[in-house]
Structure 1
Amino acid sequence: MFRLPALTDLRRFDADASGKSLGNLPEWDLSDLYTAPDAPEVARDFDWLDKACADFAAKYEGKLDTLEADGLLQCIHDYEAIDITAGRLMSYAGLRYYQSTTDSERAKFMADAQDRVTVATTPLVFLNLELNRIADDRMEALLSANEALNRYRPVIERLRAMRPHQLSDELEKFLHDQSTVGASAWNRLFDETMAGLSFEVEGEDEPLPLEATLNLLTDPARAKREAAAHALAGVFEKNIRLFTRVHNTLAKEKEISDRWRKMPTPQHGRHLSNHVEPEVVEALRDAVVANYPRLSHRYYALKAKWLGLDHLEVWDRNAPLPIEAPRTIGWDTARSMVMDAYADFDPRMADLAEPFFDKGWIDAGVKMGKAPGAFAHPTVTTVHPYVMLNYLGKPRDVMTLAHELGHGVHQRLAAGQGELLSSTPLTLAETASVFGEMLTFQKLLAGAKTQAERKTLLAGKVEDMINTVVRQIAFYDFECKLHAARREGELTSDDINALWMSVQAESLGPVFRFMDGYETFWSYVPHFVHSPFYVYAYAFGDGLVNALYAAYKDAPEGFQDRYFDMLKAGGSKHHKELLAPFGLDASDPAFWNKGLDMISGFIDELEAMEE
């Protein structure tokens, strides 16, 4: 609980350096949370939180195993009220900070808020510990005796899955208390360092932030792409010692925590939090790796042919096709493209997305100091989500808008479950976002007027899917190797560079050559810092959506209602329950090949266009 917004969608660094002629890009209006850092409501809520947490501990600590069903239900409701207030405070502090991570006042406010919330909530640590000490038969009797309490069964079961890994009450309180100077402090150091970097790209009039520099890797001019790649490598190399220290420290901290908690693997904690079986993730990973040759290897060989090259350099990976006319898509056009696709699927979906544009729920522009990437943060169930973009008019930026709005729609629908049940495990959290992209892509594809336009759209979609599936599984393998190696001792920059390169050739294929300096490109991926092993959720979501979309096309009758029911469920159901109405089962190894077949089918069509 009480998390800062997660920086997400690192596969989408696709901005333009200028930001001109895009129209009126929206900024957040955070007043639905608080009107200002010094607003009286902020002080009021901090004071309320202090008292509510102390009162909660006085009322319930040491007594959970004596409560009857009604008493346990009231305990959960009291906790949810605390969760909402703490989440509201931290959402406001975090969103302001991500708008300008180099602003010292915003950084101080966030750090102070995090300290205050952490201190206030330390007395609550007993709750999970005592819940997990209740005997199985007694817990089952309590849940069975009260239908309202039984609604929280998924939350309680997820908590109790941590029982084998639970430490003493004193240790758990200590770890909670010192969290602000542990991983979160290193996260802040990473964020502020990355946001403060500037890159001098040959041919550019002024230094660029990371987002805009990465975007130049999609420039039509190959010389411009190459210059951007070398500028990135040069700055990453200058800062590599710091990034190496951050990764060493966080991986070691995780190893210590995992050892004390008796986690069997570094990935196990992520699987538990995602409420997904390790064998399901391994089936996904193995299916994707086995399909590298017919997906990324085959596509990039085709792309080299289109570009007239014998081999590709890393700066060619996201290059536009030679037949693709340079195009900048204004904000109003992007809005129409996405909203039309959403409305064609179901008007309810467009209605849920509309307020993001009209009520200040999106922050779209690229600004120096603003956090890179994109995310949708749900805040708390009594308010609404906020979407962050770095929009600069590329076609892929439109897909990012569709993606993040999908998250936002999902979060709005799931809010009806209440604070503890609304949060969707990461493996399913990407479903609505990737589905939103698919709807937008299919709408554009259906409107293609020429073979060249269709080819451009298909190629762009394949590249997005490769970035979502192949690249993210390669990232996952890199993390697995990194954490395994760190358990053997301190890693040098060269050690981490070598681990990074070990997954690049395997995933991208033999057509690639890798420039000197590319070995440092692991350093800018925030997921490795913020959320270890998060990245497989993207591949999970893409494979799931491909199978869902195939089910939609095969049997459209009633699909929308089933889809909305799935999104409304939030975290209240296991993935097996959620997918059963569609005839899908993620635990079936063959399931993942269905999604991969869709990518392969698009490549088949692209190859046929060459004949």
Structure 2
Amino acid sequence: MNPPEWLDDHIYATPDCPAVDADFHQARHTLTTLSQLLNELPQTTDVNGLRHLLRAIRSCWTDVNRLVWNSQTYAYNRLSRNGCDEAAKVLLSRGQQLQATLAQLNKPVTLFWASAPEGQVRALLQDAELFELAYLIRHDRHLQDQRLSLESEQLIEGLSVDGLQGWGDLYDSLVGRLRPVVDGEPMGLAQADNLLAHPDRARRASAWHGIQAAWQAEQETVAAILNAINGWRNELAAQRGKTRRLDALDVSCHQSHIERATLDTLMAEADAHKALGRRALRAMASAQQITDFAPWDLYAPAPAAPSALLSFEQALTLVADAFAGFDPEMGAFARMMAEKGWIDAAPSANRRSGAYSTEYAYPPEPRVFLTFEGTMDNLITLAHELGHAWHSWLLRDLPLEQRDYPKTLAETASLFAEALVRDALLAATDNMEQRRAIAWLDGERAASLLLDVPARFTFERTLVTAREQGYVGASQLRQMMKSAQQQCYGDTLSQYDELFWASKGHFSITELGFYNYPYLFGYLFSLGLYAQKERAGGEFAHAYRALLTDTGRMSAEDLVEKHLGVDIREPAFWQESLHYVEEAVERLERLV
């Protein structure tokens, strides 16, 4: 079985097929109806009339949002496979413009819910259909004092398509066309990235230097992208914060549906335990007899690791069997993803690097993207992304608003899935080399989450502050990244990746900032869940499903309190999870 490719013809045949135009024509008709309904909102004051009107408005919003969601998912997926797909770029732009138009039109509803008297909100939410929005409405009302006038909010939405999202699109375009030269051979960025896990250190170094050279040639462009994105956010925060200026992290916490106290506790515990990440790297360096451990060694495979590459079918079987050992339906789901053509893993030209999971709004189908070349890292990445997809699948019958969960909780399902696969691999083998390879992956994960993520977090905090003072040039960005990595990695690296701000696409995501700590949150939270699994036994699969199903309709604090009876604002939960990290690092130290 070769690595599969997506089968998306039932969504659209091509980005410019007649069905696309027909859908956008229908969306424009629905927007006209929506506009007429919104004109009635200021004149409607009685509760029954408002309930009827708000239900009708929501129905129109849902119809258009399905198209926005589907068109952008389809276009982005096409561009991930081929960054030079011009028709997909056009469709992505059309979807973004439609999204902005919908958001502009819907602003009166957003402002209504944000500013309505509490008694009126309670009365309206007695309606069963409107009650589906209760959590999101309550969540948004926390930022009542950050709302601008209707005209200003609509202007922001309109300008954001070219004034903000365009910068993220530019970065994605760069990723698609970048061609690093590795040992004299030009290749796509995804192929070069995979070579960073090559067993030959010289080959890894060549790949890393090739990637560095490619990004160095574009560093001024990426610097402009980061400045534009962060400048936009800073100015928007200043305009919103006339009465109460929110810190960038407060905004991020609101987007992540966690409290600032939770984030502060999480990062403090990570900082207090960064020695675990450093121990993992030192063990890895010692095992490889490397005295000058470098960035290109961070994802090196274990010495004497099984050299045979996995076929995609072998990898899928390993993942599906591991999932099935926990929850048979989860295992069957993994196989279904491949059978239905919902995974795209075949290497291709102009392919973007990295991996992700996404989904269509209707029909509610997940999709997974990665570049599979048979390595153990590829296996774990497949498990990670299928964990995301399982999360989406569990929510498929919920309203669209409840299928949109925060990044903190999104990374929980993916990392829990990784843990299932690693434990299944450990349990299935007495072979010391295989056990060492699995322990190696655990150590690699510990180093990444306890060192790399905090370094990214520190860098972004510094960038946000520096951008308030003016433009931050490429040389300054390099120095800021070096400083952040020094703080976290210490002397475990012989040199630092000063261009990481360019090569790591998370910094150029326009929708939200600080897309770094959600991975740490998910890592430690998934370990906490895994501890619950070990204590609860076979019954935990149902509890786990229930927890994931609630992720789009309550805060992280309330979710954990409801399902686990724990307060994640306090250090105890995170410390228990970090105890499992310490055990993993000790296992690595013993085995190497």
1:462 Cα offset (Å)? 1.8
Equivalent in the alignment of 1:524: 503
1:373 Cα offset (Å)? 1.0
- 1:353 partner letter: A
Contact 2:568/2:574 (8 A) holds in 1: yes
Change (3 A) 1:439 1:39: same
1:429-508 alignment runs, 5 A limit? 429-508=410-489
Equivalent in the alignment of 1:426: 407
Q: Distance in 2 between matches of 1:110 and 1:171?
A: 25
Q: Distance in 1 between matches of 2:102 and 2:436?
A: 56
Verify: 1:89 aligned to 2:71, yes or no.
yes
Among candidates 30, 41, 60, match of residue 63 of structure 1:
41
Q: Distance in 2 between matches of 1:232 and 1:36?
A: 32
Q: Which runs of 5+ in 2 are unaligned?
A: none
Equivalent in the alignment of 1:5: none
Contact 1:50/1:120 (8 A) holds in 2: no
Q: Distance in 2 between matches of 1:131 and 1:109?
A: 32
1:557 Cα offset (Å)? 4.6
Change (3 A) 1:259 1:448: same
Residues 318-347 of structure 1: per-residue CA shift (max 9 Å, x gap): 222323232311100011000000111111
- 2:191 partner letter: A
Change (3 A) 1:284 1:243: same
Verify: 1:227 aligned to 2:206, yes or no.
yes
| Secondary structure of the structure 1 residue equivalent to 2:397 | helix
Higher RCO (CA 8 Å, separation ≥ 6 residues): 1
Q: Which runs of 5+ in 1 are unaligned?
A: 1-22
Q: Distance in 2 between matches of 1:270 and 1:403?
A: 24
Equivalent in the alignment of 1:6: none
1:112 Cα offset (Å)? 3.2
Equivalent in the alignment of 1:261: 240
Contact 1:416/1:568 (8 A) holds in 2: no
Contact 1:100/1:106 (8 A) holds in 2: no
Q: Distance in 2 between matches of 1:28 and 1:90?
A: 16
Among candidates 548, 556, 559, match of residue 575 of structure 1:
556
Change (3 A) 1:479 1:352: same
Q: Distance in 2 between matches of 1:584 and 1:33?
A: 42
Equivalent in the alignment of 1:353: 334
Q: Distance in 1 between matches of 2:14 and 2:179?
A: 30
Give the TM-score normalised by the residue count of structure 2: 0.94
- 1:53 partner letter: L
Q: Distance in 1 between matches of 2:86 and 2:60?
A: 35
Residues 349-390 of structure 1: per-residue CA shift (max 9 Å, x gap): 123333210111111122222222111112215431111111
1:79 Cα offset (Å)? 2.4
Q: Distance in 2 between matches of 1:554 and 1:162?
A: 39
Instruction: Name the stretch that deviates more: 184-193 or 351-360.
Output: 351-360
1:469 Cα offset (Å)? 4.2
Contact 1:54/1:123 (8 A) holds in 2: no
Contact 1:414/1:423 (8 A) holds in 2: no
1:452 Cα offset (Å)? 2.9
Contact 2:364/2:396 (8 A) holds in 1: no
Residues 97-141 of structure 1: per-residue CA shift (max 9 Å, x gap): 322122223222322343344345532222212221211222123
How large is the Cα RMSD of the aligned pairs?
Answer: 1.9
- 2:212 partner letter: A
Contact 1:417/1:569 (8 A) holds in 2: no
Q: Distance in 1 between matches of 2:538 and 2:302?
A: 38
Instruction: Name the stretch that deviates more: 584-593 or 408-417.
Output: 584-593
Contact 1:379/1:385 (8 A) holds in 2: yes
1:130-145 alignment runs, 5 A limit? 130-143=112-125, 145=126
Change (3 A) 1:570 1:352: farther
Q: Distance in 2 between matches of 1:525 and 1:298?
A: 24
1:497 Cα offset (Å)? 0.7
1:184 Cα offset (Å)? 1.1
Q: Distance in 2 between matches of 1:570 and 1:492?
A: 39
- 2:372 partner letter: Y
Equivalent in the alignment of 1:344: 325
Among candidates 598, 601, 607, match of residue 583 of structure 2:
601
- 1:37 partner letter: P
Equivalent in the alignment of 2:159: 178
Q: Distance in 2 between matches of 1:39 and 1:216?
A: 37
Change (3 A) 1:94 1:232: closer
Equivalent in the alignment of 2:19: 41
1:193-342 alignment runs, 5 A limit? 193-202=174-183, 206-262=185-241, 263-293=245-275, 295-342=276-323
- 1:400 partner letter: T
Equivalent in the alignment of 1:585: 567
Change (3 A) 1:32 1:565: farther
Verify: 1:407 aligned to 2:388, yes or no.
yes
Give the TM-score normalised by the residue count of structure 1: 0.91
Q: Distance in 1 between matches of 2:80 and 2:582?
A: 38
- 2:333 partner letter: L
Q: Distance in 1 between matches of 2:573 and 2:410?
A: 18
Residues 524-562 of structure 1: per-residue CA shift (max 9 Å, x gap): 111101142111111111110101101111121521111
| Secondary structure of the structure 2 residue equivalent to 1:376 | strand
| Secondary structure of the structure 2 residue equivalent to 1:392 | coil
| Secondary structure of the structure 1 residue equivalent to 2:192 | helix
How many residues matched?
Answer: 582
Change (3 A) 1:321 1:412: closer
Q: Distance in 1 between matches of 2:455 and 2:257?
A: 22
Q: Distance in 1 between matches of 2:118 and 2:40?
A: 18
Contact 1:34/1:41 (8 A) holds in 2: yes
Equivalent in the alignment of 1:4: none
Q: Distance in 2 between matches of 1:510 and 1:94?
A: 40
Percentage of identical aligned residues = 26
1:519 Cα offset (Å)? 1.3
| Secondary structure of the structure 2 residue equivalent to 1:430 | helix
Equivalent in the alignment of 1:29: 7
